[in-house]
């Protein structure tokens, strides 16, 4: 009796570290995409993406703690992609990701500024706009006082 064994050599340069971190993926065209990085190594990553990407497509990925890194899509099966970095990550990349993930980000609430609503005129409203009315009142008042001053000067 004999046992047959086969040895398979993985095509991966390094083993990947399972992570769950958010990232921002940017391609040549289109808007940035929010993605979830599922595993990463110094040579590449696998991420869950909202749209299908083409193999060979050049992208950049932004990951907290690592910054933005250019990469190429080497595997794509629907909503999951495998990408290879153009330059290897530094040796402490896993500590950088863990450090960034442990930081608490507090969103700053800014007051909601409203733009003034455009002046609307109701149908059948024959009044002049407010600035014209104010200018008319001030002008006629000034003219009235000037007339009174002129009459006093004649007397």
Q: Which domain holds residue 78?
A: 17-102
To the question of pTM greater than 0.75 for the whole model, the response is no
Return d(Cα 25, Cα 50) in angstroms, integer.
10
The pLDDT tens digits for 14-68 are: 677 888 889 999 987 768 889 999 998 889 999 999 988 889 999 999 988 888 8
Residue 127 in domain: no
HSE toward the beta carbon, residue 16, CA cutoff 13 A = 18
Residue 74 in domain: yes
Share of the chain above pLDDT 90, in %: 38
Return d(Cα 150, Cα 144) in angstroms, integer.
10
Using the structure block, give the residue that is written with the tokens 């398979």.
Answer: 8
Residue 144 in domain: no
Q: How many domains does the chain have?
A: 1
Using the structure block, give the residue that is written with the tokens 């095509």.
Answer: 11
Using the structure block, give the residue that is written with the tokens 């040796």.
Answer: 91
Residue 114 in domain: no
Residue 56 in domain: yes
Return d(Cα 91, Cα 133) in angstroms, integer.
73
Higher pLDDT: 2 or 126? It is 126
Residue 1 in domain: no
Residue 118 in domain: no
Residue 21 in domain: yes
Q: What's the confidence (pLDDT) of residue 126?
A: 73
Q: What is the CATH number of the domain that holds 81?
A: 2.40.10.220
């Amino acid at each position: 009796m004999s046992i047959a064994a086969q040895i398979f050599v993985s095509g991966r340069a390094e083993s990947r570290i399972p992570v769950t971190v958010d990232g921002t993926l940017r391609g040549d065209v289109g808007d940035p995409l929010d993605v979830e990085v599922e595993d990463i190594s110094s040579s590449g990553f696998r991420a869950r993406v909202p749209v299908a990407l083409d193999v060979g497509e050049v992208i950049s990925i932004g990951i907290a703690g690592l910054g933005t890194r250019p990469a190429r899509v080497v595997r794509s099966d629907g909503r999951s992609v495998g990408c290879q970095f153009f330059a290897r990550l530094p040796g402490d990349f896993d500590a950088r990701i863990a450090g960034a993930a442990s930081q608490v980000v507090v969103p700053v609430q800014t007051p909601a500024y409203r733009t003034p609503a455009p002046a609307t005129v109701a149908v059948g409203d024959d009044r002049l706009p407010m600035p014209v009315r104010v200018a008319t009142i001030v002008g006629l008042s000034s003219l009235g006082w000037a007339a009174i001053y002129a009459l006093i000067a004649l007397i």
